[in-house]
Structure 1
Amino acid sequence: MLVIDELHDVFCDALVDDDGWLVFASCWGRDTAIQELLARLTLPSCEGGLSKLTFLDDAMNRTVGIGNPDRLDKMTGRMPKANLFGDIVHLWLFDKKAVTPDFVNRRAYLLLLPDQDDYAATWALIKSVCPLPLLDYWQDAVVNVCRRNGWLKGIKGYRINAVSIDLPDEEFGAQLGDMIRQGLLELDSDDNGTMAKAYRHPDF
């Protein structure tokens, strides 16, 4: 497990950050240590507050920023009191966008186990965040263009991974329009209504 350099007796068994900003951390510690961590996240640096956390083990030294603490949410649980280690609390600290997408700014995170397939869940989240209607037949083409432009990226973490979605408003809509005009996305009519088909560009 990772130790946190700025705190005593708090340990981390899963961590992921996005360009140095905390996305998710799973922490363990005694109740007093966890309460100290939560309290210091809300204080300014001049009063002993934490603007960053440094996670360490023999092979890792990673510093992640906290930013505005209001962007983070938390969940806690307790081990049974009869356990061998005493009053141990499990804290999940995470960016709110990992639970509820930011629909206004079209941003979201998807948390994944290291061996978890993300493709279907990623597409569902893109459709949820996007203000434009996206058809399932467009999935491969749209996912690939998002990856190429950096609007969709996979993030490797410590024992947990994430997918970041950040769709620009005008640029994303313009890209879809270009793809339709170029024949990369097309609508065909059939006897029962409309059917959408996605055509893959060789570069996809």
Structure 2
Amino acid sequence: MPIHHQPGAERPALMTLPEASGLFADAVLTDEGRNLLFLSVWGRDTAIQEFRARLSLPVREGGLDRFRMEGEAGDLFVQVGNPDRLIGESGRAPSHSIFGSLVHLWLYDRLAVAPDRANRRALMLHRPEEAENPVGQASIRRRLWTLVADTCHVPLLSHWQETALGAFEAAGWIKTLPGIGVSAHLVDLGDDEVEDLVTRLIRGGRLAATG
């Protein structure tokens, strides 16, 4: 689930990780509790491997359950949480680049790959620059609606998109998460009131059987 920036898009300044020497991050996203949802870091292979290993070790054995990131906008404190929920992908930069042989590591929450239908939770990542123009905004809304319909236990008709999304957002079941170099929508439809809300919208005529 790597996030690639469009050509010409302004890239965020690199951030350092004081607890993980030799690593530089260009994107990070957390939830409201500062729990890690997405991280993009660069470094030598040994530094990347050490970082990944420390995420799965107990703190008493040198592991990391939190870390600090330093950047132009100030410090950011990140909680690792349960490392088993994080998926890692990596790629190697060309050895002839000016930076030498670097490894690019992406870590992201499993919710970004597939919804947790048992708990009705999902995560949709997107590039921040997508939200800066009407075409990108429309694309984000369409993808978000597809994800919501796939996650929700209540059947949702396609033409309900804007009404249902607006109602779910107002209820706090869809939250926008601004990150650095990456943004997201967090969907949490585990509230027992979801079905009642949809029923009220139908009875009130705001959700119709036909578009």
What is the TM-score when the length of structure 2 is the normalising length? 0.86
Q: Aligned pair 1:164/2:186, yes or no?
A: yes
**Unaligned stretches of 5+ residues in structure 2:** 1-13, 131-136
Aligned to 2:104: 90
1:45 alignment counterpart: 59
User: Residue by residue, what CA displacement relative to the aligned partner does 1:173-201 show, whole Å, maximum 9, x if unpaired?
Assistant: 111111112222222xxxxxxxx24xxxx
Larger Rg: 1
Is 1:183 the counterpart of 2:205? The answer is yes
Contact 2:169 2:175 in 1 (8 A): yes
Name the CA distance, whole Å, in 1 between partners of 2:125 and 2:149.
17
Alpha-carbon shift at residue 91 of structure 1 (Å):
0.1
Tell me the CA shift for residue 157 of structure 1. Answer: 0.8
Partner residue of 1:5?
Answer: 18
- More deviation, 32-41/52-61: 52-61
**Over residues 118-157 of structure 1, what are the superposed CA-to-partner deviations in whole Å (9 max), with x where a residue is unaligned?**
1111101101111221101111111011111110011111
Map 1:10-159 to 2 at 5 A.
10-19=23-32, 20-116=34-130, 117=137, 118-159=140-181
- What is the rounded CA distance, in whole Å, between the counterparts of 1:43 and 1:59 in structure 2? 30
SS at match of 1:54: strand
TM superposition outliers: structure 1 runs of 4+ over 2 Å: 81-87
Q: Distance in 2 between matches of 1:129 and 1:169?
A: 13
Q: Hey, what does 1:202 align to over in structure 2?
A: none
SS in 2 for 1:174: helix
- Rounded to whole Å, the distance in 1 between the matches of 2:153 and 2:112 is 19
Work out the CA distance in 2 between the residues paired with 1:158 and 1:80: 25
Task: For structure 1, list consecutive stretches of 5 or more residues without a partner in the other structure.
Answer: 188-195, 198-204
Give me the whole-angstrom Cα distance separating, in 1, the residues matched to 2:43 and 2:81.
23
Matched residue count: 189
Distance 1:147 1:84 in 2: 45
The structure richer in strand per residue is 1
Contact 2:121 / 2:190 at 8 angstroms: preserved in 1?
no
Does the CA contact (< 8 Å) of 2:43 and 2:102 recur in 1? Answer: yes
Contact 2:128 2:183 (8 Å CA) reproduced? yes
Q: Verify the 8 A CA contact 2:123 2:185 in the aligned structure 1.
A: yes
| TM-score under structure 1 length normalisation | 0.89
Provide the alpha-carbon RMSD of the alignment.
1.2
Q: Distance in 2 between matches of 1:178 and 1:128?
A: 21
Query: In structure 2, how many angstroms separate the alpha carbons of the residues matched to 1:4 and 1:29?
Result: 11
